[in-house]
C-alpha cells in the first residue's frame, strides 16, 4: 500500500509551485486530478523544450496525475468542482486572491460542502497585504527575498537563477504543509482533529527562510549580505577552481577539520596556526590569501588527480557537472536518480526519479503527463455518476473538454 493511497487531491494550480507539490503527493500514491482550462490548459504544457509536440516539462511535472479539462470560471464549471469537492481531501490552487470567491467557489463555500477539506493557496505574496493582488511568480520571489541581491560577482549586477528556484522551494514547503494538515486531521491531540483548514503560502517566504538568518543578523548587527561570487561569507576556502585539463571543481570547508586538511594538502599548513583560521567567518575574511594557495595547486593537476588526492585526504571536493555528467555518474546511477518511464507518445524516456527512497512505502512513477482532458469522461461519469446527457451538455457549453491529441 502506498503512503498516500486513499488521499484525493485536486490540483487546480498552474505552472510550477502548486503543481510540483501535487506531483510529490502523486508520486507516493495520492489520487491527483489535474484541473485545467478546456482551451488553454496549464501554461507549463508549452513551457521550455518539446519533442514531437510534447512539452517535456509537462511530461515530467504532470506524471501520476489524471487530467480533467474544466472551466472553473463558468457557473456550470463551478458546480462540477463543488461535486468533486464532496469527497476530496486536498485542493491546491494558485489563483489571485479573490478569484475563487468571485466565481462562487471560495474557501468558505468549499469548506461548507466538505468541512474536512484542506485548501492550499499558493500565491506570490499571500492572501492579504498591499501586494496580494499583484501577479506573483518565482522570479519576483527570487528578487524580493534577497536572493538576487546576494548572488553574483562582487562588482556585478544582482543575479537571478536560470530556473524556478523559488517555485521549487515553495513546492516542497507546500507539500510539507499539506502533510502537516493531514496529520493534524488524524491526531486526536490536535486542535485540527477531524477538521479541514486553509494553507496560505506566499512564494516569497520559503526562499527567504532558505537564505539563512538574515533578518536576525540585520536586526542585531545591521549587516546586509553583499554579493561574493562563488565565495561564502561563512567559510573559506570555498570557490570553483580550474584544473590542468580545463575542468572545474568546487571545494567546501564548512567544517574546521576539512579546512585544515585542505591547507595541508596544498602545502600551506603554516596558515592553520593563524588565529583567524579558527573560525569560518574569519577565514572568509582572508579568502584572497587562501585562494592564492588553493587555486595554483589545483591548476597544476588534472581533475581526476584533484578528486583522487582530495578523497584520499578526506577533504570535500566535487566536479562541476552538467546534465550529461549526471546521466553517466556512478553515484547517481547507484541511487537510480534518473529512471526510465514509458510515454505513449515518445516511448521510453528518462526523467528524475522520486525524491525519497522509503523502505516501507516507496513511491512509484506510473505514467507521464497526459493529454488535456484525457480523463474528463471517466471522472465525471464513473466517479460523479453524471449521465451522458449531462456530460454532452457540459461539452456543448465548453465547460469541459476531452482529450486533444495536439495538447500533450
Active-site positions read 167
Phi-psi region of 320 (alpha: psi -120 to 50; beta: other; left: phi over 0): beta
User: What is the distance between the alpha carbons of residues 165 and 168, in angstroms, rounded to a whole number?
Assistant: 5
Integer Cα distance of 252 and 315 in angstroms: 8
The grid coordinates listed for 297 are: 595547486
d(CA 55, CA 204): 27
Q: What angle do CA 266, 267, 272 make, to 5 degrees?
A: 95
3-state secondary structure of 140: helix
Report yes or no: 61 and 37 within 8 Å, Cβ to Cβ: no
Taking a C-beta distance cutoff of 8 angstroms, is the pair 340, 348 a contact?
yes
Q: What is the phi/psi pair of residue 79, to 5°? A: -65, -40
Rounded distance, CA 33 to CA 227, Å?
A: 43
Amino acid at each position: 500500500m502506498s503512503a498516500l493511497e486513499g488521499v484525493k487531491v485536486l490540483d487546480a494550480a498552474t505552472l510550477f509551485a502548486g503543481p510540483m507539490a501535487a506531483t510529490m503527493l502523486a508520486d507516493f500514491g495520492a489520487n491527483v486530478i489535474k484541473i485545467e482550462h478546456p482551451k488553454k490548459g496549464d501554461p507549463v504544457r508549452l513551457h521550455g523544450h518539446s519533442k514531437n509536440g510534447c512539452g517535456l516539462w509537462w511530461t515530467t511535472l504532470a506524471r501520476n496525475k489524471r487530467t480533467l479539462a474544466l472551466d472553473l470560471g463558468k457557473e456550470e464549471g463551478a458546480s462540477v468542482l463543488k461535486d468533486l469537492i464532496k469527497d476530496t481531501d486536498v485542493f491546491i490552487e494558485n489563483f489571485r486572491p479573490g478569484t475563487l470567491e468571485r466565481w462562487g467557489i471560495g474557501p468558505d463555500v468549499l469548506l461548507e460542502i466538505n468541512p474536512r477539506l484542506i485548501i492550499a493557496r499558493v500565491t506570490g505574496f499571500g492572501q492579504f497585504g498591499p501586494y496580494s493582488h499583484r501577479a506573483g511568480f518565482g522570479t519576483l520571489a527570487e528578487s524580493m527575498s534577497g536572493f538576487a541581491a546576494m548572488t553574483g560577482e562582487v562588482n556585478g549586477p544582482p543575479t537571478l537563477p536560470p530556473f524556478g528556484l523559488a517555485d521549487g522551494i515553495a513546492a516542497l514547503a507546500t507539500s510539507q504543509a499539506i502533510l502537516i494538515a493531514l496529520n493534524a486531521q488524524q491526531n486526536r491531540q490536535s486542535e485540527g482533529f477531524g477538521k479541514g483548514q486553509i494553507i496560505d503560502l506566499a512564494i516569497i517566504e520559503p526562499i527567504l527562510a532558505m537564505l539563512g538568518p538574515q533578518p536576525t543578523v540585520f536586526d542585531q548587527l545591521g549587516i546586509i549580505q553583499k554579493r561574493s561570487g562563488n565565495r561564502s561569507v561563512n567559510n573559506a576556502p570555498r570557490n570553483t577552481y580550474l584544473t590542468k585539463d580545463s575542468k572545474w571543481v568546487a571545494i567546501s570547508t564548512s567544517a574546521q577539520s576539512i579546512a585544515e586538511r585542505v591547507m595541508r594538502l596544498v602545502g600551506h599548513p603554516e596558515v592553520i596556526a593563524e588565529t583567524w583560521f579558527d573560525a569560518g567567518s574569519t577565514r572568509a575574511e582572508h579568502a584572497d590569501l587562501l585562494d592564492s594557495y588553493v587555486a595554483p595547486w589545483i591548476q597544476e593537476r588534472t581533475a581526476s588527480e584533484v578528486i583522487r588526492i582530495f578523497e584520499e585526504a578526506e577533504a570535500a571536493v566535487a566536479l562541476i557537472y552538467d546534465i550529461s555528467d549526471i546521466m553517466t555518474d556512478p553515484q547517481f546511477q547507484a541511487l537510480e536518480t534518473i529512471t526510465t518511464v514509458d510515454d505513449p507518445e515518445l516511448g521510453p524516456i528518462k526523467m528524475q526519479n522520486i525524491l525519497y527512497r522509503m523502505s516501507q512505502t516507496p513511491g512509484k512513477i506510473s505514467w507521464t503527463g497526459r493529454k488535456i482532458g484525457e480523463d474528463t469522461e471517466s471522472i465525471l461519469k464513473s466517479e460523479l455518476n453524471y449521465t451522458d446527457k449531462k456530460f454532452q451538455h457540459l461539452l456543448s457549453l465548453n465547460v469541459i473538454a476531452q482529450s486533444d491529441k495536439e495538447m500533450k
